[in-house]
Structure formats: structure tokens, C-alpha cells
Amino acid sequence: MRKVVFLALLIMFCANSLKAQDTTDEVLLELNKKSEAYGDIAQNIWEFAEMGYLEEKSSALLQKTMSDEGFTIKKGVAGIPTAFIAEYGSGAPIIAILGEYDALPGLSQKAVPERASANMAAGHGCGHHLFGTASAAAAIAVKDWMKASNTKGTIRFYGCPAEEGGSGKVYMVRDGLFNDVDIALHWHPGAQNAASAGAALANKSAKFRFYGISAHAAASPEKGRSALDGVEAMNAMVNMMREHIPEKARIHYVITSGGKAPNVVPDFAEVYYYARHGKRDVVLNIFDRITKAAEGAALGTGTTMDYELIGGTHELLPNLTLQKLMHDNLTKVEGITYTEEEIVFSDKISNTMGYDKADLETAQSIQPYKTEAKAFGSTDVGDVSFTVPTVGMSSATWVPGTPAHSWQAVAAGGTTIGKKGMMVAAKTLTLTAIDLLANQELIRQAKAEFLERRGADFVYIPLLGDRPPALDYRK
Ligand SMILES: [Zn+2]
């Protein structure tokens, strides 16, 4: 008798998991069917090529895509007109998928394998047109799965503007928009398929403005006080400081205004600084010392100084529980194979980067799983990762070997290569979100790891303070 009950239970269990697998397969099939439509959406955003906080058309298109699928839209969140949240379902668990859609100034480029400007103000050199679209596609597929499998919970798409230097997500985190989220998923376009632990540098940036007194530089220099002297004195001090800061810290600056003519003592000068390091607290300390150098420079040159915080992000907090899950799903999804036409295009792109032929194997394969990564750049996903357990990946949307922020990245992003690569991410995010909704023990484990890594006494400090979103930083 007991055997019979056991057998019946086993059959029920198998039938259920088979049904769950069928539902997942159907959802992936549906994603495949819609891939052309998603490709068109990405192409539209690629053509809009809107810069940070100016992404009106891109944001509106993604909002429409989500609302047509039954998502409720909250727009203009965190005081940012182009930020929005699209939501489906109710209650816990709440899974967030992040999407970006801002373009980069100076990178206008046609979808051809040689440098050819499309004569636009900007171009999608970081592939955010794919980023936003594939994340939206994943959120929709997860919604379809929730419906088909009658699963409770909430799926949200976060429309996140101005990642490139605008720190858009930091304002969204600061406003508490992630406080009730259980897990956040993201991805990024790239030159390979990888879901290893990510890393990013914490970063704080500001424009230091010096004010002096203008005078004829030859006839009455004693009456003048040079704002440019203020900038130069500050830079000299900061450059000396480099020897006395923790290793691996980065400080960069550009002089954004240095006067107009040598025979006029400049009454205004401005220098734009970035400080970066793998740990937020080190960045806070270095940035404080930079402001001290600015104050000292103003004092010594008889000028005055103020500064405006422009950006500030945390480093990325990894979560290996989630990362391993995402890697396994990416492995199931697999990379992309190029058509003859795509091979011709990618060979030509590869030639411009000094390679004979495109490395097709890298586009097809998945990079081995690694639990540690080196940080080179910064991202505002860092702030999300210190608020909720967060996991990300990259897929080969560019010809292997292509660096981000290059015309080659813009070009591939405007072809079928970019759109195929983006669907690898859409599928992997979908499978990962489904796993989390279907097995909430994974969420519990990810949260335990998150709390341990963040540390018991962690307090969130928005690195850009209480400044309002810098909505005009690209105008
Ligand atoms: Zn990017």
C-alpha cells in the first residue's frame, strides 16, 4: 500500500515538473517567435540615439511595449521624466529586471563595417538599445510564464535612464524604489557570453569651479586673480596626492574651462574630476582630500571655489548564489552563430581592430565560470547591488574583440548580430527569474549571502548626496 502511495506521489511530482518544463519551453518558444519584433524595437531605440535624461522616445516606446502586455506603468519616478517602472502581478516575491536605453555623445555611426557617422548627436556605443529591449522582453516572458503556470508574485521592469555618467539608478535607489524588491537581474551588451561574478569601481565625480578677477594680463595683472591658477594649483596638489592614496585608486580630471584669451586674466575656470576605487569608503576619503586641495588652491591663489557633485556610484556587490544560477542558465541557452552575411560583416569589423578574421568561437561559446573579477569601469547598478541581491551577465552583441564605447560597437548594435546577441540575454534572464519564482529557497539563500557580504553595519550613503537628478548634464 505504502509503495502504491509513493508511486502515485512520484508520478504526480514528475508530471508537475514535466508540466513546469513544458511551460518554460513554451515561453522560450514564444520569445523566439517575438525576436523579430523585439529586434525592431531595439532598432528604433538605436536610431533615436538619445543621450542621458533625454531618452523621451526610447522610454515611451518601452513603456508602450510593456503596457500593451498588461503591465501597469509608473512613469517619471525619482523625479526623472524618462525613468519608469512597469509591473505585473502582486505580492512577494518581487523580481526586478533592469533596463537602460541612453546613448553616448560623439559616437554617431551607421550600421556598416567602416567608420561612417550617421550625423546624429549620439550613438549606441554601449548597446543600451539592446539592454533595454532584451530586459523588457525577459520581463514579458516571465509574465507569460507566471500566467501559464499560475505562479504568484510580481515581475517588474525598471526603466533606468542615464547610466552613462548620469547615475540614474542612484536616484531611484535613493528614492526607495528598490526597497521591497527581493532580487534584481540585469545584463550588459558585450563581446562575449559570460555570467561570472562581476566587478565595478565605486566612483564619485564633481565639477570644481574657481572664480577670480579678470584684468588686462599685461597692463594691470596686479589687479587680477586668475581662476585658472586656482585650477592649476588644485591639480598640482592632487597630482602629488597620488603617491599617498591606496593602491588601485584612480583619479582623472579634465579642464572643462580655462579662460578665453591669454591676455585676459580668467575670472572663471572649471575642472571636472573623477575618483574611483573598488571600495566606496576609500572613494569617499579620497574625494574629501580632493576637495581640501581645491579649498587650499582657492586660498593660495586669492580666488573662490565651489563644486557640484555630478555622479557617484557604489562598487558592485557580487552574489555567487545567483551568479551560478545565471551561469547555468546561460550555458543552457548557448551563444550565437553568424550567418554568411554576418561573417563578412564581422571579418571587416575585425580588420579595423587589427585582426585577420572574426573570432566566431567566442560568439558561440560561454566563458568559463569565475567567482572573481577585476573592476575597470563603474556602473550605477552598484547602488542597486547594495540594496537588493543583484546578478548580471553579458552576451556577445558585438563582434568579439570590440571594446565598449567604440564605433564598431555602435555598428554591430545596428545589425542582426546585436539583436541575436540580445536574445541570448533575454532568454537567460527569463530562465533565471523563473527559477527564482519557482524555487523561493534560492531567494532565501541569495538574501543570506547578500546580508553577509554587505556586512552587519552597512549603511547606504548615496554618493551624490541630496542633489536633484542632473537632468541637463547632456544638454
Ligand atoms: Zn553600458
251-284: per-residue pLDDT in tens?
999 999 999 999 999 999 999 999 999 999 999 9
Comparing 1-15, 161-175, 228-242, 428-442, which segment has the lowest mean pLDDT? Answer: 1-15
Predicted local distance difference test score (pLDDT) of residue 9: 62
- Distance in Å, CA 455 to ligand 1 centroid: 28
- Distance in Å, CA 2 to ligand 1 centroid: 58
CB-based contacts of 96: which residues, under 8 Å, 6+ apart?
Answer: 156, 157, 158, 178, 181, 183, 184, 185, 388
What one-letter code names the amino acid at 358?
A: A
Task: Please choose, from the candidates 90, 32, 95, 17, the residue with its C-alpha nearest in 3D space to the C-alpha of residue 432.
Answer: 95
Cα 357 to Cα 22: distance, rounded to the nearest angstrom: 40
The arithmetic mean of pLDDT across residues 361-373, rounded, is 96
Cell output for 56: 523621451
Predicted local distance difference test score (pLDDT) of residue 462: 96
Comparing 134-138, 309-313, 363-367, 419-423, which segment has the lowest mean pLDDT? Answer: 309-313
Residue 438 CB coordination number (10 Å): 16
The answer to whether residues 74 and 82 touch, using CB atoms and an 8 Å cutoff, is no
Residue 20 — very low, low, confident or very high, per pLDDT cuts 50/70/90?
Answer: confident
Residue 443 — very low, low, confident or very high, per pLDDT cuts 50/70/90?
Answer: very high
- Distance in Å, CA 289 to ligand 1 centroid: 29
The rounded Cα 381 to chain-centroid distance in angstroms is 6
- Distance in Å, CA 303 to ligand 1 centroid: 38
- Distance in Å, CA 243 to ligand 1 centroid: 31
The answer to whether residues 295 and 458 touch, using CB atoms and an 8 Å cutoff, is no
Share of the chain above pLDDT 70, in %: 96
Neighbouring C-alpha atoms within 13 Å toward the C-beta of 184? 28
Whole-prediction pTM: 0.93
Written in H, E and C, the secondary structure of 258-285 is: CCCCCCECCCEEEEEEEEEECCHHHHHH
Predicted confidence (pLDDT) per residue in 380-390, tens digit: 999 999 999 99
Query: H or E element: which one contains 60?
Result: helix 56-68
Question: Positive or negative, the Cα torsion across 25, 331, 99, 33?
Answer: negative
Residue 181 — very low, low, confident or very high, per pLDDT cuts 50/70/90?
Answer: very high
Predicted local distance difference test score (pLDDT) of residue 110: 97
- Distance in Å, CA 397 to ligand 1 centroid: 12
**Is residue 376 predicted with pLDDT exceeding 90?**
no
The arithmetic mean of pLDDT across residues 176-196, rounded, is 98
Residue in this structure with the C-alpha cell 533592469, named with its chain if needed = 98
- Distance in Å, CA 351 to ligand 1 centroid: 24
Predicted confidence (pLDDT) per residue in 25-48, tens digit: 888 999 999 999 999 999 999 999
Cα 384 to Cα 173: distance, rounded to the nearest angstrom: 6
Predicted local distance difference test score (pLDDT) of residue 21: 79
Mean pLDDT computed over every residue of the chain: 95
Cα 45 to Cα 23: distance, rounded to the nearest angstrom: 31
- Distance in Å, CA 198 to ligand 1 centroid: 14
- Distance in Å, CA 45 to ligand 1 centroid: 15
Q: What is the DSSP letter of 198?
A: P
- Distance in Å, CA 140 to ligand 1 centroid: 22
What one-letter code names the amino acid at 342?
A: E
Share of the chain above pLDDT 90, in %: 92
Cell output for 378: 563603474
**Is residue 80 predicted with pLDDT exceeding 60?**
yes
Residue 13 — very low, low, confident or very high, per pLDDT cuts 50/70/90?
Answer: low
- Distance in Å, CA 162 to ligand 1 centroid: 10
- Distance in Å, CA 128 to ligand 1 centroid: 6
**Is residue 165 predicted with pLDDT exceeding 90?**
no
- Distance in Å, CA 338 to ligand 1 centroid: 24
Cα 63 to Cα 282: distance, rounded to the nearest angstrom: 38
Residue 312 — very low, low, confident or very high, per pLDDT cuts 50/70/90?
Answer: very high
